[in-house]
Amino acid sequence: MKTHLKSTILLLASFISLIFFTQSISADVLDAPDPANQIPQVNAGNVLKDYTQKELNVVDNQTPKGNMDRKYNERTIDADHPGTVESYNTTPDSTQQTSLQTKLYLPDGFNVTNYQHGNFQSVTLDDSGNIYFIESNGSDTNLGVIVKYNLAELNKLGAGSDPMIVWNAFNYFNPYTDEGVTHNQQYEDAYEQLKAPQKDLKQATAQVNQLQSKTNKTKGTRTKLSALETQIGHDQAQIKQIKQQNPDLFKYAAVAQAAQLSPQVDIGHGQTLSFNPQNKHLYIVEDNTLTDLKNRDQSNNVLEMTTDTLKPLRQYNFKMYHGDSGNLQLHTLTFDKQGNAYWGRKNGLGYMFFYGRMDQHDVQFQAAPTYFKNRGGSPNQGVSYNPANDRLYYVTDDILTSIPTQAVRDGSFTPNDMHYMAFTSKRECESLTFDQQGYGYQLMLWPAEILKSSTPLN
| Domain map (residue ranges) of the chain | 6-30+175-257, 44-142+267-456
Residue 248 is predicted with a pLDDT of 93
Whether residue 386 is predicted with pLDDT greater than 70 in this model: the reply is yes
Whether residue 369 is predicted with pLDDT greater than 60 in this model: the reply is yes
Residue 15 is predicted with a pLDDT of 35
Q: How many CB atoms lie within 10 A of CB 205?
A: 18
Residue 25 is predicted with a pLDDT of 35
Whether residue 254 is predicted with pLDDT greater than 70 in this model: the reply is yes
Whether residue 363 is predicted with pLDDT greater than 50 in this model: the reply is yes
Per-residue pLDDT tens over the stretch 277-306: 999 999 999 999 999 999 999 999 999 999
Whether residue 3 is predicted with pLDDT greater than 90 in this model: the reply is no
Q: Cα torsion for 26, 30, 33, 34, to the nearest 10°? A: -60
Residue 217 is predicted with a pLDDT of 81
Secondary-structure percent of the chain, ordered helix, strand, coil, rounded to 5: 25, 30, 45
CATH, domain range 44-142+267-456: 2.120.10
What's the sign of the alpha-carbon dihedral 252, 253, 258, 260? positive
How far lies 389's CA from each of 74, 386, 432, in Å? 33, 6, 15
On whether the CB atoms of residues 269 and 287 are closer than 8 A, the answer is yes
- Out of 66-70, 211-215, 285-289, pick the least confident: 211-215
Whether residue 52 is predicted with pLDDT greater than 70 in this model: the reply is yes
Whether residue 24 is predicted with pLDDT greater than 60 in this model: the reply is no
Residue 9 is predicted with a pLDDT of 34
Residue 12 is predicted with a pLDDT of 40
Query: pTM of the full predicted structure?
Result: 0.89
